Each structure stands twice: as C-alpha cells, then as structure tokens.
A and B are shown apart, each in its own frame.
Chain A
Amino acid sequence: MDSALSQNKTEPVSKQGMSVDDVDRRIIQATQSGLPLVSRPYDEIAQRVGISTTEVIARMRILHQFGIIRRIAAVPNHYTLGYKANGMSVWDVPDDRVDELGQQIAALKFVSHCYQRPRFIPDWPYNLFAMVHAHNHEEAMTLVARIEKLLGNANRGHDVLFSKRILKKTGMRLPERDI
C-alpha cells in the first residue's frame, strides 16, 4: 500500500517547516472535521476550495511530506471499543533522567502517549505523563505497576487519573476567520 499515507515517523520531515497559503488553509478547513464519505472525496473538497482534484491531492501530499498532515486515518473511540479504563499515569522523576526514562516507558506496548510536561509545585509535582488503555481498572493498574517497576527508585511519586467521561473530541479545528 505504497499509495497510502501511513504513519511513519522515520520519514523525513522538514525542520524548517513550510508555510501554508490560503489555498492550503481552505483545504485544511474543508477536511479537518473529516473526509467526505463519497466515492471521490477529493473531488468534493476540490469543489469546496475552488481548485482541481489533482491540485487538492498534490497539495495534500506536500502537507503530508512536511508533517502538517500527520496521517489520514480512522481514529477509533477506544471507550466505545471496550477500553473503558483510560488511565493517565503521571510520575515525578528527576529532570536529569526524564528523557532516558520517558523513552523506556514510551517503548512499552500498552502506552499510547508519553510526554514530559511542566510541574506546578505544590499543586502538581509530576513531570512525566504516560497514557495507558485497558479494558478495566484492574488491568490498567497492572500496567501502571509495570511502569512503576521499570522506574524503580527514580519514581518519587505517582498518580493515575482515570477518565470518567469524554466531554469533547473533535480534533484540531482552524477557526473560520482569516480566510
């Protein structure tokens, strides 16, 4: 499937980035809430933007090459799919070891996102976030225990925040102005 836009983080992505023009912005706005479910979806976008289908496809390929489109893909709702326990595990680890430890945690199969974020002392002492998805609370806690074991004495404190409800999930939107 070489024609597919797959997620491949080893693909070269320009460091200096690219600047998008008004046409690109109109393509982004026409597609950010989803791709039309019709036989020729890029025709419909071309019509809305006022350019040819060929140009839509060419521009979207460039947007993908530069990483502005991460990928064109289906995003499953893990909650609907039975992953009811979505745990955001948060860890207080020494700043000088956070990169080394973050990379190790991210490599665990059950971790879907892993970031270093700023602390807010005293309300929020945690600097490393790792999202785990499991079918239930117990399974999630088993996964968190594996992270705990991996961190060993670098773990100076942690917590797990389970999601109770999705309040909004739309993905990124460009506001309608400036067009």
Chain B
Amino acid sequence: MDELDRKIINDLQAGFPLTEQPYAEVAARHGITESELLSRLQQLLDNKTLSRFGPMYDAEKLGGAFTLAAMQVPEQDFDKVAEVVNSYAEVAHNYQRDHQFNMWYVLATETPDQINLVNRDIEKRTGLKVFSMPKLTEYYIGLQLPV
C-alpha cells in the first residue's frame, strides 16, 4: 500500500458517489484514471487491506435485529465450533478473543425472533451456552480511524 492507496482509502471511508460513473469521479479527485482506481481497489480487496467495499446496510432499520454473542469454547473444540458458527449466513462477524469468553460473533437477522432461533440452534449444535448481548444504547462516535 502506497501513499495514494492511503488517500483513496481515507476518502472512501467517508463515502462514495451514487452516480452513473462513480469511480471516474473519485479517480479525478486523486488525479488518476478510472481504470487505475479500479485496479488499486481490486488489489486492496485481494490483499485484504480492505475487508469490504460497498453499501453498509443497517439491519435494524430493515426490521431486522443485531446482537453480539459470546461463547466460552474449550480450546480443543475451537475450530470445530468456529466452523459451525461461521456456517450461518446471519453471522456477519466472528472474532477469537483472548479471554475465557473466547468467541464473539455478531448476528444480523431480518427479525428479532431469528436472533433467538440462530442462537438456540448454535447452542444445540455445539452444546455450549450462548450469551447474547444486544446493544441497549449506542453512543455517538465521530470519524473513522485514518489509515
């Protein structure tokens, strides 16, 4: 990643145009061609500098629901349990953390009922208890981290 990649990422963390040729607009701001921007973005996604590029949807506003769920997974079963948890399309993120509660996943579903259904199903398939911790209040955060 070079200086221009950093500038592009910081620019695109803030937003992206909803116009017919949005990449051309962004490229012009950075003094490069559209095709160079496209190939840089492709590379940043391929080498995992970017984890996503596109619209970020708010599942709650779609009548959906979110929760953060935690599990205490025995070390020897960890990969097997991760495979089960990751197999659900509703699991948006999953992190291993250095703690007795060592697996933390985010569920995003269309209805609040489905949160419970997926968590129950995971409990049934893994034999482990799921601690579901939906956010009660979200506190205002300013800007994204600069890269």
A and B found bound together: yes
Which residues of A are at the interface with B, using a C-beta cutoff of 8 A? 1, 3-7, 9, 17, 19-20, 28, 31-35, 37-43, 53, 57, 60-61, 63-64, 66-78, 80-81, 83, 86, 88, 98-99, 102-103, 105-107, 109, 111-118, 120, 123-124, 129, 133, 159, 161-176
In angstroms, Cα B18 to Cα A162, docked, is: 37
Q: Which 3 residue pairs across A and B have the least CB separation, nearest first?
A: A106-B139, A6-B15, A74-B12
Which residues of B are at the interface with A, using a C-beta cutoff of 8 A? 1, 8-9, 12-25, 29, 34, 38, 41-42, 44-45, 47-59, 61-64, 68, 70, 82, 85-86, 89-99, 101-105, 108, 110, 131, 133-142, 144-145, 147
Supplied contacts A74-B16, A74-B50, 10 more A-B pairs, CB within 8 Å: A5-B17, A35-B53, A39-B38, A40-B20, A57-B19, A77-B51, A107-B140, A112-B145, A169-B51, A170-B93
Query: Cβ of A35 and Cβ of B54 under 8 Å apart?
Result: yes
Query: Cβ of B15 and Cβ of A133 under 8 Å apart?
Result: no
Query: Cβ of B108 and Cβ of A7 under 8 Å apart?
Result: no
**Residues of B contacting A: mostly:** mixed
Q: Which chain B positions have C-beta within 8 A of A80? A: 47-49
Query: Cβ of A170 and Cβ of B92 under 8 Å apart?
Result: yes
Query: Cβ of A116 and Cβ of B137 under 8 Å apart?
Result: yes
Query: Cβ of A72 and Cβ of B15 under 8 Å apart?
Result: yes
Contact of B93 among A19, A28, A169 (CB under 8 A): A169
Q: Which of B23, B55, B90 has the most CB of A within 10 A?
A: B55
Contact of B24 among A5, A39, A111 (CB under 8 A): A39
In angstroms, Cα B68 to Cα A73, docked, is: 23
In angstroms, Cα B15 to Cα A96, docked, is: 36
